[in-house]
Amino acid sequence: MILKIGIGSTLLIAGGIALVIFSKPDTLLYQTPSPASAQDSGVAQPSPTPSSPHEMVRVSSIAPFSAVVSPLVLAGEARGNWFFEGSFPVTLVDANGKVLAQAIAQTPGEWMTTEFIPFTAKLDFKKPTTSTGTIILTRDNPSGIVEFDSELHFPVHFSVQVNATPSQKTPVPSPSKKITCRPTGCSGQVCADKEVMTTCEYRPEYVCYKNATCEVQKDGTCGWTKDAQLTQCFESIK
Closest alpha carbon to 118 in 130, 126, 110: 110
For 28-37, 76-85, 116-125, 169-178, which range has the lowest pLDDT when averaged over its residues? 28-37
| DSSP secondary structure code for residue 210 in this structure | G
Percent of the chain at pLDDT above 70?
70
Quick check: helix, strand or coil at residue 102? strand
pLDDT at 163 over 90: no
SS3 56: coil
Residue 138 has phi, psi (to 5 degrees) of -105, 135
Q: Is the pLDDT reported for residue 209 higher than 80?
A: yes
Binned at pLDDT 50, 70 and 90, residue 238 comes out as low
- Model confidence at 190: pLDDT above 70: yes
List the Cα angle 140/146/150 in 5-degree steps: 45
Q: What would the mean pLDDT of 102-121 be, rounded to a whole number?
A: 93
- Residue 100 burial class via C-beta count within 10 angstroms: exposed 0-12, middle 13-18, buried 19 and up: buried
Is the overall model pTM greater than 0.85, yes or no?
no
Q: What pLDDT shows up at residue 210? A: 87
Whether the predicted pLDDT of 49 surpasses 50: no
